[in-house]
Amino acid sequence: EVQLVESGGGLVQPGGSLRLSCAASEFTFSNYWMNWVRQAPGKGLEWVANIDPDGSAKYYVDSVRGRFTISRDNANNSLFLQMSSLRAEDTAVYYCVRAPEMGTVDYWGQGTLVAVSS
């Protein structure tokens, strides 16, 4: 069974930085686009960023472009999200999500909570 396990969340002050990680297993990680999707407490889902299989193409939602960087390490089956200049509105559970083909995502991790507060 596909497994995606996020880590790295926590409490950070506004303007601070945080690096999220996602450990993938039970599938050939290097063949898939990967995504970060977030969910603010009690709110809906928002796609944040994604990255192509070899890490050369990256896309971001406007609200995080220039502050967040998505990356991957195919040798270690890992996905990352480097977040900087964090704002209160970035507070959310961040999910690592696999994209099996164009236009869709299938497997989701359990999520890691990022709380931005002073």
Partner 1 sequence: DVVMTQSPLPLPVTLGQPASISCRSSQSLVYSDGNTYLNWFQQRPGQSPRRLIYKVSKRDSGVPDRFSGSGSGTDFTLKISRVEAEDVGVYYCMQGTHWPWTFGQGTKVEIQ
Smallest separation (angstroms) from partner 1 to the CB of 60 = 8
Please count the CA atoms within 13 angstroms of the CA of 88 that sit on its side-chain side. Answer: 2
Which one, 103 or 118, has the nearer CB to partner 1?
Answer: 103
> Structure tokens of 68?
């967040």
Q: Which residue of 12, 29, 109, 112 would you call a contact of partner 1, by CB under 8 A?
A: 109
Which one, 44 or 118, has the nearer CB to partner 1?
Answer: 44
Residue 8: closest CA among 59, 60, 78, 61? 78
Per CB under 8 A, contacts with partner 1 among 32-91 are 44-47, 59-62
Please count the CA atoms within 13 angstroms of the CA of 102 that sit on its side-chain side. Answer: 0
Q: Which residues bind partner 1 (CB under 8 A)?
A: 44-47, 59-62, 95, 102-106, 108-111
